[in-house]
């Protein structure tokens, strides 16, 4: 029987199944765990199930001397010092694949909401400002037939591209590696440089991981390169975008709008983004469907159970620890 510490109650029944065989302790508060509470929770634990909001750095890992597994309830794992975990033979799991469709749906929903000014229209009606149909009321750019640039063409980026096909959009993408020719043909997507993508796209959707190289990838210079009237969508990680620069660019009128699900300093949101009427804001809802969140927990539990049986799960980030 292993001692397992979970930093937040998770949806579904997966943790209950795990608790039938192991000692599962769940942080009881419906809020982010503090550093002190995290260290106390993992001091004797062999398994940590963490959230993307939990910073699992070298100090945290040292606070859990018995840790064998860190299971991150997210596909991204920039909150974990994977190199340090690997050095101490700690397996790190994440949740790839299962949240692809939900995240792509949300990204395209933000695109449509920002372009067609749906949240503005909702607020307009609720405030009693609508006096009847007007030919110039809340005009926005056309979506169908426009050019969508996707920065980061992994699972989610490709799923967004498939949704754009239904709108007859021209697809450009930039990625660390060019996709196989067959996938490019299937999507009708053209591989271009980041600069070309920014200058040619009517919509830019971010789907790259947060790394030292991608932090503030979207900055004053890159925002200035975007087409006048373009729309930026970010469902990747908040720090990929320099929010000060984004606010300045929106206020200048160079960008038409933005749709954001992630932020540099979550849960804090830049005041300039809150104040701008053509910024659509979502509280990190990318994977927020019942089915997806349940399956994310189940995937982590299956990975933990596989490791207990000396098997290598598909969602193991650092397979080099397996001897």
Q: For residue 21, what are its two tokens?
A: 């065989």
The rounded distance, in Å, linking the Cα atoms of 235 and 107 is 6
The rounded distance, in Å, linking the Cα atoms of 95 and 99 is 8
For residue 182, how far is the Cα from the chain centroid? 27
Query: Does the annotation count 237 as an active-site position?
Result: yes
pTM value? 0.93
The rounded distance, in Å, linking the Cα atoms of 228 and 278 is 15
Other beta carbons within 10 angstroms of residue 202's beta carbon come to: 21
Query: Does the annotation count 295 as an active-site position?
Result: no
Q: Which of 55, 190, 284, 291 is catalytic?
A: 284
pLDDT band per the 50, 70, 90 thresholds, residue 322: confident
Write out the E strands in 90-219.
Answer: 91-93, 147-151, 170-174, 189-191, 203-206
Contact 143, 112 (CB under 8 A): yes
Summarised one tens digit per residue, pLDDT across range 217-272 is 999 999 999 999 999 999 999 999 999 999 999 999 999 999 999 999 999 999 99
Q: For residue 260, what are its two tokens?
A: 């954001």
The rounded distance, in Å, linking the Cα atoms of 311 and 91 is 12
Assign domain 3-98+290-317 to its CATH superfamily.
NAD(P)-binding Rossmann-like Domain (3.40.50.720)
Domain assignments of the chain as residue spans, ordered by start:
3-98+290-317, 100-281
Nearest alpha carbon to residue 114 among 141, 78, 148: 141
Average pLDDT for residues 133-147, to the nearest whole number?
A: 98
Query: Does the annotation count 243 as an active-site position?
Result: no
Q: Do domains 3-98+290-317 and 100-281 have the same CATH topology?
A: yes
- Residue 41: the pLDDT is 97
Summarised one tens digit per residue, pLDDT across range 25-36 is 999 999 999 999
- The per-residue b/e assignment along 263-272, b for 16 or more CB within 10 angstroms, e otherwise, is bbeeeebbee
Assign domain 100-281 to its CATH superfamily.
NAD(P)-binding Rossmann-like Domain (3.40.50.720)
- Residue 125: the pLDDT is 98
Q: Which of 8, 237, 276, 302 is catalytic?
A: 237
């Amino acid at each position: 029987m292993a001692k397992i510490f979970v930093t937040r109650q998770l949806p579904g029944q997966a943790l209950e199944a795990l608790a039938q065989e192991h000692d599962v302790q769940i942080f009881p508060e419906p809020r982010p765990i503090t550093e002190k509470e995290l260290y106390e929770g993992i001091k004797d634990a062999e398994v940590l199930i963490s959230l993307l909001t939990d910073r699992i750095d070298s100090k945290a890992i040292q606070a859990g001397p018995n840790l064998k597994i860190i299971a991150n309830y997210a596909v991204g794992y920039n909150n974990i010092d994977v190199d340090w975990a690997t050095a101490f033979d700690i397996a790190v799991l994440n949740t790839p694949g299962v949240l692809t469709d939900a995240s792509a749906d949300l990204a395209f929903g933000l695109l449509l909401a920002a372009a067609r000014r749906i949240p503005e229209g909702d607020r307009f009606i609720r405030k009693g400002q609508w006096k009847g149909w007007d030919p110039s009321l809340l005009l926005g750019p056309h979506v169908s037939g426009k050019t969508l640039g996707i920065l980061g063409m992994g699972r989610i980026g490709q799923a967004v591209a498939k949704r754009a096909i239904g709108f007859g959009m021209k697809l450009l993408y930039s990625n660390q590696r060019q996709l196989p020719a067959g996938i490019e043909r299937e999507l009708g997507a053209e591989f271009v440089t980041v600069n070309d993508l920014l200058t040619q796209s009517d919509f830019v959707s971010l789907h790259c991981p947060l790394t030292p190289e991608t932090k503030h990838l979207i900055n004053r210079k890159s925002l200035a390169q975007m087409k006048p009237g373009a729309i930026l969508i970010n469902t990747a990680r908040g720090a990929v975008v320099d929010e000060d620069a984004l606010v300045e660019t929106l206020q200048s009128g160079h960008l038409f709008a933005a749709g954001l699900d992630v932020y540099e300093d979550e849960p804090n949101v830049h005041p300039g983004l809150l104040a701008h009427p053509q910024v659509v804001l979502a509280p990190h809802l990318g994977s927020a469907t019942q089915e997806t969140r349940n399956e994310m927990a189940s995937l982590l539990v299956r990975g933990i159970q596989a490791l207990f049986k000396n098997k290598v799960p598909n969602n193991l980030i650092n397979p080099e620890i397996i001897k």
